[in-house]
Amino acid sequence: MSEIIKVGMADLKTCKSPDGITTLGLGSCVGIAIRDPITKVGGLAHVMLPDSTTIKQNNNIYKFADTGIVELVRLMELEGAKKSRMVAKIAGGAQMFAFQNKSDLVRVGDRNVESSKATLKKLGIPILAEDTGENYGRTVIFYPETGDFVIRAVGKAERTI
Amino acid sequence: MSDITLESMSEQYFDVLKELGNIGAGNATTALAQMLQCKVDMKVPQVKLLEFSEVGDLMGGEEQIMAGIYLCVEGDITGSIMFLLEKESARHLVSKLMGMEIPDEEFNEIEVSALKEIGNIITGAYLNSLSTITNLKIFPSVPDLTIDMAGAILSVPAIEFGTLGDKILLIQTQFTDDYELDGYFILVPDLESYAKILKALGLG
């Protein structure tokens, strides 16, 4: 029987086909799903903040796009994935409210997306698809077997990217 | 002061924040009773310092549909405050305020603005008591409302807390009129404001 592994907020995990991996209720956070299509090793990170270098409390490397993605890739390599074959899909980064205070947190959703893309680019991992921005929450399920990234949102049809 | 983190706050500080939560939620209950013109009881609020991953579970899972009312705070302290209410509870309050049943579908424009007003009054009462106790000027912004998954709404205050540490401070309040309503307050003062609040209370 295959399982669906759950990833929390500021968390990341790896998984192997036929298992899937999910994270629920992404808001301004970004979910980064990575897969090695040959070994079918996958992983999902749920990052909250774009940049660990601008924040003092940065011990939790899972929390940031820059450090979280690097760690996820490292853990996937331990499971037998190869970085040169990895491909990614990303979702989330919504702006949940029409305004958000504190200039450095304005557009944190967008900045999470930008930082995720920049980090993936630096690692040489191509982004095959994304469903980012807008103003609504998303639940995502990723299947390393096929690379399907299923996205659910309130009052919207489920879609696969 | 920038070395304070939520985790490192002493028991005493945490007790103060709890007490502020109690008083604020008490005032909010009174305001709610006045608005609905009926008796509203409140259980003693629970103040919790939770890991990010625990927050969704508390509210019935990350996918639980909630109404979230969010506003910014300016003045002597800066930060934001959020009031969260389960969708059915929100529907109940809006029905009561408007004096009619709200059908079981999406809220329309008028209902959304009624809900915003409820959020405004509740958070306003909460902030008023905080302002009175600390003698600090606190000005709330116009509220914004969203109805979505709990996890997605909570990502907003969680990200703000995320710049300080790995936990979120949450005040759970249960109101009862003829229906039990679970409400949650999340107050996110920035670090300097925490210091100011504590100083105003003679603990800084």
Q: Does A8 touch chain B (CB under 8 A)?
A: yes
Calpha distance B7→B49 (Å, rounded): 9
Summarize pLDDT for B123-182 with one digit per residue, the tens. Answer: 888 888 888 888 889 888 888 899 999 999 989 888 888 877 777 777 787 777 777 777
Q: Does B75 touch chain A (CB under 8 A)?
A: no
Q: What pLDDT, on the 0 to 100 scale, is given for residue A43?
A: 96
Summarize pLDDT for B42-95 with one digit per residue, the tens. Answer: 777 777 778 877 777 777 888 889 999 988 888 888 888 888 888 888 888 888
Q: Measured over all CA atoms, what is the biggest interatomic distance in chain B, rounded to whole angstroms? A: 51
Q: What pLDDT, on the 0 to 100 scale, is given for residue B182?
A: 79
- Is pLDDT above 50 for B1? no
Contacts of B190 in chain A (CB under 8 A): 102
Q: Which residue has the tokens 């103040």?
A: B47
Per DSSP bridges, beta strands B46-51 and A148-152 are unpaired
The one-character DSSP state at A104 is: G
> pTM for this structure?
0.87
Q: Does A77 touch chain B (CB under 8 A)?
A: no
Which A residues, 19 through 48, put their C-beta within 8 Å of a C-beta on chain B? 24-29, 48
Q: Does the beta-carbon distance from B162 to A99 stay under 8 Å?
A: no
Q: pLDDT-derived band of residue A100, with 50, 70 and 90 as boundaries?
A: low
Range B11-200: architecture per CATH: 3-Layer(aba) Sandwich (3.40)
Q: Which residue has the tokens 């639940």?
A: A139
Summarize pLDDT for B29-57 with one digit per residue, the tens. Answer: 888 888 878 777 777 777 777 887 777 77
Q: Does B116 touch chain A (CB under 8 A)?
A: no
Residues in contact with A144: Cβ distance below 8 Å, sequence separation at least 6, in sequence order: A15, A16, A17, A19, A20, A21, A35, A36, A40, A41, A42
Q: Does A99 touch chain B (CB under 8 A)?
A: yes
Closest CA to B195 of B64, B11, B13: B13
The residue annotated as part of the active site, out of A5, A7, A21, A29, is A29
Type of residue found at B3: D
Q: What pLDDT, on the 0 to 100 scale, is given for residue B2?
A: 45
Contacts of A91 in chain B (CB under 8 A): none
Contacts of B151 in chain A (CB under 8 A): 9, 24-27, 137, 139
Mean pLDDT, rounded, of chain B: 80
May I ask the CATH class of domain A4-160? alpha beta
Which B residues, 126 through 155, put their C-beta within 8 Å of a C-beta on chain A? 141, 144, 146-155
Q: Does the beta-carbon distance from A97 to B70 stay under 8 Å?
A: yes
Are residues B186 and B48 in contact, defined by beta-carbon separation less than 8 angstroms? no
Q: How far is B156 from chain A (nearest CA, A)?
A: 7
Q: Which residue has the tokens 């500021």?
A: A10
Closest-CA residue of A relative to B2 is A56
B103-126: average pLDDT: 82
**Size of the A and B interface in Cβ pairs below 8 Å:** 122
Angle at the Cα of B158 (from B155 to B161), degrees rounded to 5?
155
Look up the ipTM and state it: 0.89
Residue spans of the domains in chain B: they are 11-200
Point out the least confidently predicted range of A94-98, A101-105, A127-131.
Answer: A101-105
